[in-house]
Structure formats: C-alpha cells, structure tokens
Amino acid sequence: MKRAIFPGSFDPITLGHYDIIKRGVELFDEVIVSIGINSEKKYMFSLEDRKKFIEDTFKNEPKVKVLTYEGLTVQFCKEIKVPFILRGLRNPADFEFEKAIAHTNRRLSKIETVFLLTAARTSYISSSIVRDVIRNNGDYTKLVPDSVRAK
C-alpha cells in the first residue's frame, strides 16, 4: 500500500490544500494529512478546529486520514512507516524552499518527497493570505472549503 503524508499547519485548510489532497488520493492508497504542532507559532485556529475542518472536508473520502505530530516530519514518517511526503508547489520560491527540505529529509532518511504543482485557479491562495483576509473582515469564503466557512 502506497502511503504519503501531507504535512502542514493548515491554519486554516485552503482550497489549494484541498486540491493537492484530492490529487494526492489519485496517486496514493492513503494520504495522511499531518498537522504539525509548533509551540513557537501563534495559530488563528485551535488544533482541534484545524483537525475538524480537514476531517469534515474529507468525511466522504476513506483514503484521507488526519493525524497530528510534533517534531521532525521525517521522524514522524518513520514512526508511522510512511515512505512519502506530499508537497504542493505554488511558485518558484516554494520550489527552492521545498527542494532544500526534500534534500535534507532524504539525507536524514529514505523518505522521498513528491511535488505536485498547484492548480492555476488556487496557486495564489495561502493560509497566511486567508488569515489576513479574515482579520480584516474580508470575504474569505472563496478561498477555503465549506468546513471552514461554517466556522
């Protein structure tokens, strides 16, 4: 069974994340959306809310599982015996950043990173943009799945 994790903070999940997960399910038998916990980071949404947003969004997709973790992503992959990390790329800056992480992860382990380019219609969306729109009372509903809109 081919399994991959899709790590991130998902604060909140966006339509860009949704697109990568849906396409990842076509490539893998299981995609584990892995919410990283970083005690240094200030989140807009609680861990419970972020997890629920994702679970509600993919409630009808049995190949998607949601877990949380702390520490290095590659260590988490080893713990749950997952050989692939799935990542989305929006632009060249994402590629350079993600490439360095992928090389480091391969150096530390046998974990391979699989990159998917985001769809053109969602390539401009990031969680930080969504949070900024929310903070400024803008219409964020076109940027996130229904589960986040309901909150």
Catalytic positions, please? Answer: 17, 41, 90, 127
8 Å CB contact between 61 and 29: no
C-alpha separations of 8 from 2, 17, 87, 136, 139 in Å: 20, 9, 9, 24, 23
